[in-house]
Structure 1
């Protein structure tokens, strides 16, 4: 139209679009209200509206079906005792006949230790989506469940392979995910060897199947490639399903590993599973070990290898977390906690101690002397490199630079002589000098 600006045309089009959307929302609301009525209570006007809005009726019915299907997937189903026993027999036979069975475990194997899962009725994500508060459990007081101990026994008997850990990992006595979140895996600490950032070893909720770090997917894929039986315990598989390498999807279907799933709820792999067991993990594993004629080991907290495998925090890292540390003694028992915050003596010869060490023997004095000599050797290499750099690039300032170097060495020796004798020296912080 002549005399009408483009801006007015756009505004008119926006108004028309808004009216269409408002009419559509009003129509959906009206049809939804009618569909909620029982058939015998619908009036002629209601039937006329439904006949005139066939597309809206079909769309609302599809939405209802999707909602009901989603609710059914969240429901927990439990097999009858006889059916459960039959399935356990099949699972036991599969493990005995397998050449390389592998276990994938999820949060569901820890619910018996009062640690919530993610998508169960009382799971973390379920509660958050419904606006309810998440109960906070003291993870430092949790102990391995019966399922954990059964998996340990199966591993000792070489009946299963538990899929792999990263090439270089640091086991801690506290929760390392305090500062990590979606797409943020750095924990704020650094590797003691290479100095690179340490990352957690979990897939956070919402992350896709393209994640390669921090998990060691390459080694896990190698284990999956060898597997002829995969057992999934207590996992919704909504994250693991995205990693095709874990399921050998490159093979034709009949050559893929047989899949056995133990979970109370629906999983996206149910349709391709050889067997789906609807039961709690502890119940299944107890019956499984009975069928395999294996004893379930008793958990002894004082002998837990995590306390010997853990990597202690270095000086300066004590404030990198605020979580409670695991205790080697039972919760409430008498004894001191195994502290990851103890100062660690780091010597140049590779000696690591749980706390500061006083060297009081001739062997200790020799170690201390070796320590100083190696530190001086490292300093000498640095001085040599800097000297070459200054000679080539800034020869005018070479004399001034070397003067500062000599002064630094003299002050270093004076400081060394001012310290206590080597045999009584505490070397807990000396490594920070250079």
Structure 2
């Protein structure tokens, strides 16, 4: 998790009960409750899911109030816990992917999330069926035209501040802002209103991995009760809303939801993450001697020239068939190679991208053919751009 975000959250004054003991239903009772939950879901006509930090702990993202949670350890003077992996490498859990399948099956109508890890969107939940009450560390928004941008890297700021990028809309170009709330920020009206409307329409709210202690978000699920809806809570600790729930299950969220999916004969799809990057080749002739060509090769993010590529560790560049050209290893971002060479008609550049942990393979190789002697206005730079994708599992 972002250390900056965790430290900001740890400064909150009103954090409710911390370090609550984890409770586990006995195996037999747990199985009965899982089947009961499956039946309730099967009979529901408008299911809304409300998620908290417990939904993402199996992804390596720490929670807040558990025995090793962010706020618990902070109050004990032990500082902010380290995540088991960088935020951008966290992958959706079994629960995230099960919700995707439930949505595709027409059972799940909407998801309300208190998490900022962006895993619901990464998993495949449609944006129009998701309210992120506390924001998304990977989402930027244009305050002028409302355009949203989902990134493959963690946005640099929190607290609805300006980021280094601008809106790409031609008539706008306003500075973008992050979407993650700081401690004193109010919940976003658009997301809050949508969440409240969905809960009022729901005949069942399934609360997953949330302590239901942060107001006003924790009161939203109870709106379903006004129209005769049910609330079911799956959490490892007691919550202040347990008394309002039709069913309370103390168990690991992934285990409970996996059991429900099995009972419903629904398959949990695997998660395959696709990251996209671009290779930009720019060339121009030397005005004093047309036999030579100056060129630049850049491996870059599709999100902007200065945006990072979190899944690429280094780039090795070689030139098969051109032994006179020196190979290069680009180990720091931005991955940029500048050369001046004799302008032969064509050349093949071989790029080996060494990828970070979590990718489906440790590296990928790309043959990048270039033509040094194509038509070229001497006063104009020529750009050749190709877009590629890398899969992660």
Does the 8 Å CA contact 1:329/1:335 hold for their aligned counterparts? no
- Partner residue of 1:137? 84
1:195 to 173, 196, 199: 173
- Length-normalised TM-score, structure 2: 0.58
- Partner residue of 1:96? 42
Displacement of 1:288 in angstroms is: 0.6
Summarize deviations over 1:304-359 as a string: whole Å, max 9, x none: 36759xx93223x43xx69667969844833259xxxxxxxxxxxxxxxxx9x99x
Displacement of 1:100 in angstroms is: 0.9
Does the 8 Å CA contact 1:247/1:257 hold for their aligned counterparts? no
Matching of residue 110 in structure 1 with residue 70 in structure 2: no
CA distance in 1, matches of 2:260, 2:275: 26
CA distance in 2, matches of 1:147, 1:229: 18
Displacement of 1:150 in angstroms is: 1.4
1:148 to 96, 101, 113: 96
- Partner residue of 1:220? 195
CA distance in 2, matches of 1:190, 1:217: 26
- Partner residue of 2:282? none
1:246 to 220, 236, 250: 220
Matches for 1:32-431 after TM superposition, within 5 Å: 70=17, 74-133=20-79, 134-139=81-86, 140-163=88-111, 164-165=130-131, 168-176=147-155, 178-180=156-158, 183-193=159-169, 194-204=172-182, 206-207=183-184, 210-212=186-188, 216-239=191-214, 241-243=215-217, 246-247=220-221, 249=223, 253-299=225-271, 301=272, 304=273, 312-315=302-305, 317-318=306-307, 330-331=358-359, 333-336=361-364, 419-420=379-380, 425-426=382-383
Q: Which runs of 5+ in 1 are unaligned?
A: 1-68, 338-354, 366-415, 429-434
- Length-normalised TM-score, structure 1: 0.53
Does the 8 Å CA contact 1:174/1:325 hold for their aligned counterparts? no
CA distance in 2, matches of 1:257, 1:228: 4
Question: Does the C-alpha gap of structure 1 residues 174 and 74 become closer, same or farther in structure 2, counting only changes over 3 Å?
Answer: same
SS for the counterpart of 2:260 is helix
Question: Does the C-alpha gap of structure 1 residues 332 and 289 become closer, same or farther in structure 2, counting only changes over 3 Å?
Answer: closer
SS for the counterpart of 1:232 is strand
Question: Does the C-alpha gap of structure 1 residues 76 and 245 become closer, same or farther in structure 2, counting only changes over 3 Å?
Answer: closer
Q: Which has the greater radius of gyration?
A: 1
> RMSD over aligned Cα, in angstroms?
3.8
Does the 8 Å CA contact 2:160/2:178 hold for their aligned counterparts? no
Does the 8 Å CA contact 1:171/1:306 hold for their aligned counterparts? no
- Partner residue of 1:28? none
Displacement of 1:98 in angstroms is: 1.1
Does the 8 Å CA contact 1:248/1:256 hold for their aligned counterparts? no
Does the 8 Å CA contact 1:113/1:142 hold for their aligned counterparts? yes
SS for the counterpart of 1:91 is helix
Question: Does the C-alpha gap of structure 1 residues 211 and 70 become closer, same or farther in structure 2, counting only changes over 3 Å?
Answer: closer
Question: Does the C-alpha gap of structure 1 residues 325 and 199 become closer, same or farther in structure 2, counting only changes over 3 Å?
Answer: farther
Give the helix-richer structure, 1 or 2.
1
Corresponding residue pairs, total:
269
